[in-house]
Chains A and B, each alone.
Chain A
Amino acid sequence: MTVHARGYRRHEGGTERPRLRFLPIVAEGYRAGTRGKAFRRLGLLFVVIVVFHGVMLYLDPAALFPRRMRGGLGQVTSDDLMRRVLAFFARSLAGLVPLVAMFVGAGSVADDLRSRALPLYLVRPVTPTDYWLGKVLAPAAVTATAYGVPFVALVAFGVLIRPSEEILPFAWRHLPSLGAVVLHVGVTALAYASVVVTLSTLVGRRIGTMVAFAGVVYGGEMLRLFSQTAPPDLAEPLRALSLGTDARVLLHEMLDVTLEHSGPQPAVTSAVAVLAACVLLGALVVVRRARSVEVTS
């Protein structure tokens, strides 16, 4: 039987003209990102950390407070405790969250460049901006899931351990805390995803991207710590180079919490500026790369 004898069937359903053309790219990236063993193992680690914090919230709240406050812990309200646990949880996961973005996003553009798949996107009704949005939002969504679900679980746990008559009023009072957590998770995920996708575009190889990303994220953290000994003019820019700290500064601001032993912290405006710059730079790099793609014939 020749191939054409099998018969070609025309498509009768028509095509859509969706406004969010990048959504299939996000969905596919999300599926690919949550499919691997690495994601499951990291997820398990996150569960362990959530349980640890839940236990701490339940059994040993004093551990969360500065030494000077521990004597008067009776005056600390359950609301303070909740906000501090959330801030503490964010700090505990600071080293792990970028790993999720790194594993999911390192190959996102690099693999397309290596396998020359970029033209396959751009000869379809997909603009370079759609491509960038899809490629950034996929690792951002996976990171937000990995980071946000435990966070929300912790909030729920903190609410549910209240005496039953306090649960609803307590939950109501902590809606702003939940909003702060959601915003913090979104900002963190978007910033890390933007950086990893930018590096993936510039480096063009998965392993190289991972190395560069680790350098940017953990190097930024070291520079922040180094800022204590830096000249005053340099100190603030160096403090703002740690993306994780920048995102946590926003969370602390929203929760109105200051954690002990957090090291030097950037001002909120510097933190916002650096986070926004990462996203904008990423957009510029990826869109420019996609525009320069050549369809050969």
Chain B
Amino acid sequence: MAVVAVSHLTKAYGRRAPALADVSLELGEGVTGLLGPNGAGKSTLLQCVLGLLRDFRGTASVLGLDARRDRLEIRRRVGYMPEADSLLPGMTGVTSVRYLGQLSGLSRRQALRRAHECLHYVGLSDALYRPGEDYSTGMRQRLKLAQALVHDPDVLFLDEPVSGMDPAARDEFLALVSALARDHGKHVVWSSHMLPDVQRVATAVVVLHAGRLLGSLRIEDLARGGDRWRVEAEGPEAAFVDALARHGLALEAGTLESGRDGAEQGRFAATVRVAGPEPLGALLRAAAEAGARVRSAEPLAERLEDVFHRLVGAAHAGTGAS
């Protein structure tokens, strides 16, 4: 089931270029990273699916609920953690979480109990009755998560949730969100610029740029390595490079390392882009044709950062060309 689904979503502010232009995407279960540079349209997308903006073209839904018609029901089932340091003024941690629980439809008694449970869960048991203004940056992030969780939503929208946290607190936070998705069936949309964190916690990502969907991928596909292989071989280097080209394989510029090991002249290593259904077979055929011997060949695990920059770079190039 699609947790968030938008179809042909277009939203423009006045006469400016549309903030979202004919975007169609589906965010599935588990943790999904929502990536994009500033101005990509992430905020507009979020506002459309929460029903805060209604004058858009196309359709948007969360858990099958229509964003225009069922916006209040959607907000009952979504927890939102803002990036901004949003704190309810003059309230203690437990008061603010209880209050937001009441606004989400809990009775005062239920909300107070949930506030204690959620603050305990995020590790703020010792600061329940301290004013939110006195919290450190990391504590504020955890308070915001407790606020998002208080009404036990099915979907969490987390906006830069670990910004300002030290590494230990960040690790703890990532583990916590993973556990919410894995053990408690929460669906999480994680919007962030911290790509390594997204790669650690998400099962899929979607990339927006300039109001358009650039692409989506599953994180497990990154681990499989995509189309980049690291090849170590020995033999005639130049002939091998020529043979690669003849078989439609591309040597990645700047990756050829000759004579890597001083004791073994004639060895070389390179990163090769291998397209097609049978990458290893193609590599071996090229090597055989060149009279070289492949000593090792393995797909390179890609970093999300590389994929992101590649997609955004290609989009920039496309925009420049046009």
Residues of chain A whose beta carbon lies under 8 Å from any beta carbon of chain B? 2-4, 6-11, 13, 15-18, 21, 24-25, 28, 32, 107, 111-112, 114-117, 119-127, 293-297
Contacts and interface: CB of A to CB of B under 8 A. Distances in A.
A112 B91 CA distance: 12
Given A117-B89, A294-B43, A124 B103 contact: yes
Nearest to A110: B89
B68 interface: no
B43 A296 contact: yes
A4 B121 CA distance: 7
Given A296-B82, A297-B157, A297-B159, A124 B104 contact: yes
10 contacts: A2-B176, A4-B176, A6-B120, A8-B183, A9-B117, A24-B103, A28-B99, A117-B88, A295-B46, A296-B159
Given A24-B99, A121-B103, A295-B52, A4 B86 contact: no
Describe A's contact surface by its main secondary structure.
loop
A13 B109 CA distance: 11
A114 B191 contact: no
Interface string B73-91: 1011010101111111110
A21 B117 CA distance: 24
Contacts of B80: 119, 123, 295
A151 B93 CA distance: 38
B82 A119 contact: yes
Given A4-B176, A10-B184, A116 B86 contact: yes
A120 B88 contact: yes
Interface size class of B (residues with CB under 8 A): 35 or more
B176 A297 contact: no
A128 to B, nearest CB: 10
A125 B72 CA distance: 5
B138 to A, nearest CB: 12
Most buried by B among A4, A9, A107, A296: A4
B152 A297 contact: no
B184 A122 contact: no
Contacts of A17: 76, 105
B175 A3 contact: yes
A80 B256 CA distance: 105
Contact of A3 (B47, B78, B176): B176
A33 B147 CA distance: 23
Contacts of A120: 82, 86, 88, 100, 147
B301 interface: no
B107 interface: yes
Contacts of B121: 3, 6-9
Nearest to A23: B102
Nearest to B80: A123
B267 interface: no
A112 B84 contact: no
Contacts of A119: 80, 82, 84, 86
Contact of B75 (A107, A123, A293): A123
A24 B108 CA distance: 9
A16 B183 contact: no
Nearest to B34: A297
A124 B73 CA distance: 9
Interface in B175-190: 175-176, 178-180, 183-184
Contacts of B11: none
Contacts of B298: none
Describe B's contact surface by its main secondary structure.
helix
A209 to B, nearest CB: 14
B88 A18 contact: no
Contacts of B147: 120
Given A123-B50, A125-B103, A294-B43, A117 B86 contact: yes
A115 B88 CA distance: 7
B7 interface: no
Contacts of B47: 294-295
Contacts of B86: 115-117, 119-120
A25 B34 CA distance: 32
A295 B152 contact: no
A174 B89 CA distance: 44
Given A11-B152, A15-B104, 15 more contacts: A2-B172, A4-B175, A4-B176, A6-B121, A7-B121, A8-B183, A25-B103, A117-B89, A119-B82, A120-B88, A120-B100, A295-B43, A295-B82, A297-B46, A297-B157
A2 B175 contact: yes
Interface in B39-73: 42-43, 45-47, 50, 52, 72-73
B88 A10 contact: no
B173 to A, nearest CB: 8
B122 interface: yes
A4 B186 CA distance: 14
A296 to B, nearest CB: 5
A127 B104 CA distance: 12
Contacts of B72: 125, 127
B8 to A, nearest CB: 21
Contact of B89 (A8, A9, A25, A115): A115
A112 B157 CA distance: 21
A112 B184 CA distance: 33
Nearest to B46: A297
Interface in B134-172: 147, 149, 151-152, 157, 159, 172
Interface string B119-138: 01111000000000000000
A116 B85 contact: yes
B228 interface: no
B265 interface: no
